[in-house]
Chains A and B, each alone.
Chain A
Amino acid sequence: QVQLQESGPGLVKPSQTLSLTCTVSGGSLISDNYYWTWIRQHPGRGLEWIGYIFNGGYTSYNPSLKSRVSISVDTSKNQFSLHLTSVTAADTAVYYCAREPVVWGQGTLVTVSS
């Protein structure tokens, strides 16, 4: 059974880069043809799709974040990562990784503050 676990700093300073990793267990990022996805949820708000990586390299991003976001894969560690540059307080949110649409991680809160 596939499980996902997010990891990364819980506090990031404004203007810096937010970097999170999702570790996949019970399945392979490469052998399985799935959309490996990042989603976030601002405090008390709804869900916002950030983007996905598919088939090891094809990516698609939310147009509202496209200039600042990248998703990559490390096949040796069976992990995929999110990088969001030039963060502001508006990027404070719970960040989820998911294997669309079924399996989600538990989420990790990232706060942007000096």
Chain B
Amino acid sequence: EIVLTQSPGTLSLSPGERATLSCRASQSVSRSFLAWYQQKPGQAPRLLIFGASSRATGIPDRFSGSGSGTDFTLTISRLEPEDFAVYYCHQYDNSPRTFGQGTKVEIK
């Protein structure tokens, strides 16, 4: 099983700042089958990034994904008020599929 470890657990930032979220895998995620989701309270997760770096339909370009192998990053270039939420990484390369434990981006 591929264990995904996200860091930091909580990120306290102000609107307009840059957010950098990390997702580290216990073994290589081949084919870069790594996705990032945003979740707000009471809502289903929303896909932001798939294939490690491809933005999903309708996702603003301030969201970008990068990385390969065991190290992946989600970057939000300038935080907007609606970006404060919990973010999860997810590998869909191997079974069992796994999720990271989440990073909460909160308003400083």
Secondary structure of the B side of the interface? loop
- Is there contact, CB below 8 Å, between B97 and A96? no
Total number of A residues with any Cβ neighbor in B under 8 Å:
20
- Is there contact, CB below 8 Å, between B97 and A52? yes
Which residues of chain B in 84-108 are interfacial with respect to chain A, using CB atoms and an 8 Å cutoff? 88, 90, 92, 95-102
Q: Is A63 an interface residue (CB 8 A)?
A: yes
Total of A-B residue pairs, C-beta within 8 Å: 46
Given A46-B101, A101-B90, A102-B56, A63 and B47 contact (CB-CB distance below 8 Å): no
Question: How far, in angstroms, from A37 to B50 measured CA to CA in the complex?
Answer: 16
Q: How far is the CB of B26 from chain A (nearest CB, A)?
A: 15
Q: How far is the CB of A27 from chain B (nearest CB, A)?
A: 15
In the complex, which residues of chain A have a beta carbon less than 8 angstroms from the beta carbon of B45?
A: 47, 96, 104
Secondary structure of the A side of the interface? strand
In the complex, which residues of chain B have a beta carbon less than 8 angstroms from the beta carbon of A101?
A: 33, 35, 47, 50, 90, 92
- Is there contact, CB below 8 Å, between A96 and B56? no
Total number of B residues with any Cβ neighbor in A under 8 Å:
20
In the complex, which residues of chain B have a beta carbon less than 8 angstroms from the beta carbon of A60?
A: 95-96
Q: How far is the CB of A74 from chain B (nearest CB, A)?
A: 23
- Is there contact, CB below 8 Å, between A46 and B1? no
Given A46-B101, A49-B96, A104 and B44 contact (CB-CB distance below 8 Å): yes
Interface string of B20-48 (1 = CB under 8 A from A): 00000000000001010100000011010
Interface string of A59-90 (1 = CB under 8 A from B): 01111000000000000000000000000000
- Is there contact, CB below 8 Å, between B98 and A49? yes
Interface of B with A (CB < 8 Å)?
1, 33, 35, 37, 44-45, 47, 50, 56, 88, 90, 92, 95-102
